[in-house]
Amino acid sequence: MKIVFFGSSHFALPALEALLKSPYEVCCVVTQPDKKKGRHLRLAATDVKGVAQKAGLDIFQPKDVNAPESVKYISRFNPDLLVVVAYGQILSREVLAIPKIFALNLHASLLPKYRGAAPINWAIIRGERITGITVIQLSERMDAGPMLMQIEISIGQTDDALILEDKLRLLGAELLLEALKEIKNKTYKLTSQDEQKVIMAPKLKKGDGCINWDKPALEIFNLIRGSLPWPGAFTYYKGKLLKIHKAESGPPVSQKPLPRGGVVLSADKNGLRIMADGSSLLIKELQPEGKRKMSAVEFIAGHKIKAGDIFGKK
């Protein structure tokens, strides 16, 4: 089978690498245009482009994949399938009509839960214990096409979005090959998604990372793990933004009356213990505004934080 592969980010690499080792022919790779990055705003290629170049593949980087000239370019490969993994543009009806069979997509959730751009992040933020990978036939509606395959994976208590992404992208590559085998053998089955069970996972906004200390510590802990790498969970201390990189759910608070959320309960060699809703959060690693990432112990020493100080006031 001839495949045109659509992908851009780090998440798509195992899928592309698996295809390159498979008996299937990757005749073209479609990826996002090079973008300016870093302090010096130098042009940088997508992760996928680097792998495609090394493999000597035909590479196409349209600004608008749905433009008539893009459709014409992709059509000339006469592919059997389009395989889409973390590409970054929604495909039009005209693009989806190009392959002889259909276009399929690897999505990092157990659809119909967590449709959208940030399924891994939202699964952790909302405290899910299980997520997975779904292979779907692409439709014009985002992540709404019928499902070919699905596999579950547990979300570990210490998994953050970056760790979970690594697990899912490797699992996704394996599942993709299984799906392609069934497509080749014409043994696949398409299952419609239950629209009554849809949960959306939109792209995270900056404000989504702001910690509300009136919420339970477990919810804040999940936000810290789930909002990586961007926007990152943050709070304020003496009017300055403070990013929280690592934390642990702390023990219940027996003090009566209970302090308000955001109050520092202790600041010692174990870290910063902050009051949440009826419980506490132990901060282990953080990053003051405009400075490097550091341990909570280093931060305590440099700022002379003590019990009774308050986090959360801008």
Q: pLDDT tens digits, the chain, 314 residues: what are they?
A: 999 999 999 999 999 999 999 999 999 999 999 998 776 778 889 999 999 999 999 999 999 999 999 999 999 999 999 999 999 999 999 999 999 999 999 999 999 999 999 999 999 999 999 999 999 999 999 999 999 999 999 999 999 999 999 999 999 999 999 999 999 999 999 999 999 999 999 999 999 999 999 999 999 999 999 999 999 999 999 999 999 999 998 878 888 888 999 999 999 999 999 999 989 999 999 999 999 999 999 999 999 899 999 999 76
pLDDT value at position 57?
Answer: 97
The full set of domains in the chain, from first to last, is 2-200 (3.40.50.170), 206-303 (3.10.25.10)
Pairing state between β 25-30 and 35-37: unpaired
The DSSP bridge pattern shows strands 280-288 and 199-200 to be unpaired
Q: What is the pLDDT of residue 232?
A: 97
Angle at which helix 161-185 crosses helix 13-21, to 10 degrees, equals 30
Report the pLDDT value the prediction gives residue 314, as an integer from 0 to 100.
66
